[in-house]
Amino acid sequence: MARALQFSLYKWLLGAEKTFVGLDNYRRLIFEDGDFHKSVLVTLYFTVLSVLPAIALALFVAVLLNGAGLRFRGIFRTIYFVPVVTSLVAVAFVWRALLEPSFGLVNTVLGWVGINGPGWLASPDWALPGIALMTIWRDMGFYMVIFLAGLQAIPREVTDAARIDGAGPWRSFWYVTLPLLNPSIVLAAVIGVINGLQLFTQTYVMTGSPQRLPGGPLGSTRSVVLYIVEQTFRPLEMGYGSAAAFLLFVLIMIVTLIQFRLIQRKFEY
């Protein structure tokens, strides 16, 4: 990191002399580089699109699978967790085929219920939601395990007391279980947001091809990390790429601190 910070202060086109430019790379990135700004927006949009639904769905599934009376609980938990342990590159390729607009499975199924599916990865408006959809499917199992652990750590006496006091299932969940799950939610949200802000593999695999550079169409899936790779290794501008990488580090740190501030709640049993 110290090296990246040092390089970010130079104009350094690989093969040419390094020239000290101070904060000029940062100035260009923050005030002039529209592509960088767009990549930040894409990354934030993806993070919101993928992390919030994944956490909400995972919480719902975890509560269902935490019920003592459910048969085949272990099998269901395994099914939801399997995507987490599969190769991200492999599932990205599979989802790329699933999202193919004219004959892909997703649009075929949508067609059965009378919905004319979108262009997904071929459309600037739908490519990122398509990638988010795959990410939700893959990450949900991971969050589910975190929530299951959190649910099982809640003392039985607390929920029993709520029930005796007349709380129904919904009020018990909302006023007792959810607040006590706060540490798990914070953990899931922090990990999810950090992963979301580091989006790379999905967009690289799902939008790139021997005929097309990844990040398209029209930069609609170009994340900050992909942009850093492009800036660093396409024109071999090491200084500029390092500055972008350092800005991403700062962005992740700020967002994480905000999350802790907004989500974390103190509680006592």
Residue numbers at the binding site for other proteins (CB under 8 A): 13-16, 96-97, 100-104, 119, 121-124, 209-213, 216-219, 230, 233-237
- Residue 123 or 195 having the CB closest to other proteins: 123
Other beta carbons less than 10 A from residue 100's beta carbon: 17
Q: How far is the CB of 229 from other proteins (least distance, A)?
A: 9
Q: How far is the CB of 219 from other proteins (least distance, A)?
A: 8
- Residue 15 or 166 having the CB closest to other proteins: 15
Q: How far is the CB of 106 from other proteins (least distance, A)?
A: 13
Q: How far is the CB of 196 from other proteins (least distance, A)?
A: 24
Q: How far is the CB of 102 from other proteins (least distance, A)?
A: 5
- Residue 111 or 155 having the CB closest to other proteins: 111
- Residue 62 or 121 having the CB closest to other proteins: 121
The label of the residue with tokens 């995972």 reads 58
CA distances from residue 188 to 40, 150, 185, 192 in whole angstroms, order as listed: 22, 11, 5, 6
Q: How far is the CB of 53 from other proteins (least distance, A)?
A: 25
Q: How far is the CB of 89 from other proteins (least distance, A)?
A: 13
- Residue 14 or 90 having the CB closest to other proteins: 14
- Residue 189 or 225 having the CB closest to other proteins: 225
Q: What angle do CA 130, 82, 105 make, to 5 degrees?
A: 35
Q: How far is the CB of 244 from other proteins (least distance, A)?
A: 15
Whether residue 42 contacts residue 218, with contact meaning beta carbons closer than 8 Å, is answered with no
- Residue 139 or 230 having the CB closest to other proteins: 230
- Residue 87 or 211 having the CB closest to other proteins: 211
- Three-state SS for the chain is CHHHHHHCCEECECCCCCEECCCHHHHHHHHHCHHHHHHHHHHHHHHHHHHHHHHHHHHHHHHHHHCCCCCCHHHHHHHHHHHHHCCHHHHHHHHHHHCCCCCCHHHHHHHHCCCCCCCHHHCCCCHHHHHHHHHHHHHHHHHHHHHHHHHHHCCHHHHHHHHHCCCCHHHHHHHHHHHHCHHHHHHHHHHHHHHHHCCCHHHHHHHCECCECCCCCCCCCCCHHHHHHHHHHCCCEHHHHHHHHHHHHHHHHHHHHHHHHHHCCCCCC
